[in-house]
Chain A
Amino acid sequence: MSEARRIPFNNPGWAGNTGEFQLTEAQVRGDEYVGKRPPEGGHPSGTSTYPYMLAEKDPEAPLFEGAYQERFEKIRSRYPDARSALLPSLGMAQELRGHLSPETMEQVAQLLGLSPAYVRGVATFYTMYNKRPVGRFLIQVCTNISCSLCGGDDVLQAFLNNTGTEMGETSEDGNFTVMEAECLAGCGFPTTVQINSRYYENVMPKDVPEILERLKAQGE
């Protein structure tokens, strides 16, 4: 197997560790197929499928301007009413700002003609919306049944140890926030870890330092 095809640390984003793959990581993740998607959202059918967490965040980013405004309008056009566009709009606000502050919720409420309290009720129902700032990399380790059977708790502990953080707290350098996650639907490839929007699968405690180094060096 050539070096280019070597999939690092137990094949992130890939199903299994049997050593039988002939695909690159980009092929597995679909990066080649998807290509670079335009910031204004491309075809309206898929405008809400952008990453919900990015390493680079700007808590002051306007809601929404330029390409993002265009994306917002495309999203809005795909639903029969404004309320239905709330989840994708919150997702986009978080993509830009990194978390949903009270001000962000209020602005999204205004954009969609909803009450701020209503938006707060919805935003807090869903776990993917960060209600407070997180590090550049939000690391969510699955410890649910299948991963738990295969050592998910140890992987979680390894991330906590290697980042020197407590659960849910952000490391001093602002890089990492580690959280426990519920089942990420990667049960056959334990332990499944979600870092920002990307999945890392078959993660073992020994892989953790390498993953963290790669994140610091290359991003997700």
Chain B
Amino acid sequence: MMTDQQSPQTVTMRIDGREVTVPTGTTILRAAESVGIEIPHYCYHPGLSSPAMCRLCLVEVEGWPKPAPACKTTVAEGQVVHIESEMAQAQRTGVLEFYLLNHPLDCPICDQSGECQLQDYVFAQGREHGRGREPKRVLGRDDFGGDVLFNGDRCVMCTRCVRFMREVAEDERLCVVERGNRAVIDTFFDEGLEGSPFAGNIVDICPVGALVSKDFLHKARAWDLDRTPSVCPSCSQGCNITLQTRDDLVQRLKPRENMDVNGWWMCDFGRHNYEWINRVDRVEEPLVNGETQGWPEALGSLLGRLKEAKGEVKAVTWAHSTNEEMGLLKAMMEELGGSEVVYRSPRTVGELQLPGFPLLARREDLAPNVRGAEILGFTRVGDEEAEGGLDDLATHKGVLIVVGDPLEDQNENFGAQAELFIYLGSYLSKVAGNAHYVLPTTTFAEQEGSYTNVQGRVQRFWPGIRSPGSARPGWLILGALFAEFTETEAPIGADQAFVQVAKGVPEFGEITYRDMGTRGAPARKSAGVAGD
């Protein structure tokens, strides 16, 4: 019983001979984690309640009659915990044998293979040979609806999925049916998970191959995938993600932990909106009046044309452009004496909040950098579908600069009357056919850059796949032009580009790429920007 004395703020104890000091109330599992020791576990997940039922995290605590579940037992002053003692190891080996009794061992055809915690733990500490001689229980597969396929035979009954749907999604569509050895995860008969916007997360948190993605089914082996930290471009939330790629194709998106943004989660809308990154109908080389040219020639002649141009300069971009691209576009416009930059971005009605992690919602703005455009003072035009609103640009007679937006909604005469039409984009849309200069840009997946999310958080992403042909990041192209124009030094890295952009923008202030790291950094609040 706790007395009314002030309890000390930290506790010092020993784990496998190492002294560990952690805040009072920390569990053994977290204490071990803090010194880099992983205690095997299934049912524990930092984002969920701990039922302590998988019994894999049992550790030896000196002086205790029974092994203790590390996920639930809080540390005590002077406690001595053994994770690799003979007793604790035997414990784990024993529990793992139980797990394999009814497991089909179908690793060769299982998508989880290579990133499976059952595989890893058994490989590390399982018995060499199982003693089970009895026929295995066979449950088969069940389509849970949405993107989720359930393989009952592989399930370890950790109930992470049930708890996610109950505690985080607060949409209790999963349950454990029956009890004992007959227990199995299921939905309400045929109800399934269809329509649940966050159900895809249960595939991520399933420690084994019981819940797999139908979209990813048999597409790639875990060990063939390259993983790159990135930011989800599907809405202004900017969930931290990992691009998982093979052969320069994005195979799937997975959420990446960031407690300030998305926790461990992301929505299914963002998760499955990646096919466009793999589009192959790309502009690969600069086109000048329809003719392929090398970059030096193209940029050289463009510079000349720009300097000679007499007409007013107008520019349009979209909220998929990076902070760097937008910032350098703005600088360029100021240099050319152009009018304000407009941008378009699709918008939906209503947010889809994740009840158990309210910071995360699928936001109304369905593009990653609306806040960046707002901070830079761009004017939003167009409708909910990011269409229209460009009538004066379509018939503009001066200099027209388009960055990113393929302008699919515009008719083929867009920009036809422009004195000089420059198009920086990844796809050769019909409108781009009118451009004097088509300069191929990379997508976010192919370059380094940053977005500012709805919270005003500036977040970096890294190139995960190679760009086709000689496409270049927008900031590199605009940066080079700007430098030539102003006879200054061009940025040769996205970090330099950001510094250059941030100079004139109080919200970005002194933030650098180093500050952002992999988790982003908050922009300074400013009165001019719509509230969170």
Contacts and interface: CB of A to CB of B under 8 A. Distances in A.
Chains A, B in direct contact (C-beta < 8 Å): yes
B175 interface: yes
Interface residues of A, number: 12
Contacts of A168: none
A124 B179 contact: yes
Interface string A110-126: 00001111101100110
A210 B33 CA distance: 68
A121 B176 contact: yes
B173 interface: yes
B177 A115 contact: no
Contact of A102 (B173, B174, B179, B188): B188
B276 interface: no
A167 to B, nearest CB: 16
Interface string B171-207: 1111111110000001111010000000000000000
Contact of A117 (B173, B178, B179): B173
B176 A115 contact: no
A106 interface: yes
A121 B189 contact: no
Contacts of B188: 102, 105-106, 115-117, 120
Interface in A84-117: 102, 105-106, 114-117
Contact of B189 (A118, A120, A125): A120
Contact of B177 (A106, A116, A124): A124
Contacts of A118: 166, 172, 175
Contacts of A115: 171-173, 188
A154 B179 CA distance: 28
A5 B173 CA distance: 55
B438 to A, nearest CB: 53
Contacts of B178: 124-125
A117 B165 CA distance: 11
Contacts of A121: 162, 175-177
Given A115-B173, A117-B173, A117-B174, A125 B187 contact: no
A102 B172 CA distance: 16
A102 B189 contact: yes
A121 to B, nearest CB: 3
B391 to A, nearest CB: 50
Contacts of B166: 118
A102 B188 CA distance: 8
Interface string A124-149: 11000000000000000000000000
Contacts of A116: 188, 191
Contacts of B173: 115, 117
> Which 10 pairs across A and B sit closest by C-beta, in order of nearness?
A121-B175, A115-B172, A117-B188, A116-B188, A117-B175, A124-B177, A102-B189, A124-B178, A125-B179, A118-B172
11 contacts: A115-B173, A116-B191, A117-B174, A117-B175, A117-B187, A118-B175, A120-B175, A120-B189, A121-B176, A124-B177, A124-B179
Given A117-B175, A120-B189, A121-B177, 13 more contacts: A102-B188, A115-B171, A115-B173, A117-B172, A117-B173, A117-B174, A117-B186, A117-B191, A118-B175, A120-B177, A120-B188, A121-B162, A125-B176
Interface of B: 162, 166, 171-179, 186-189, 191
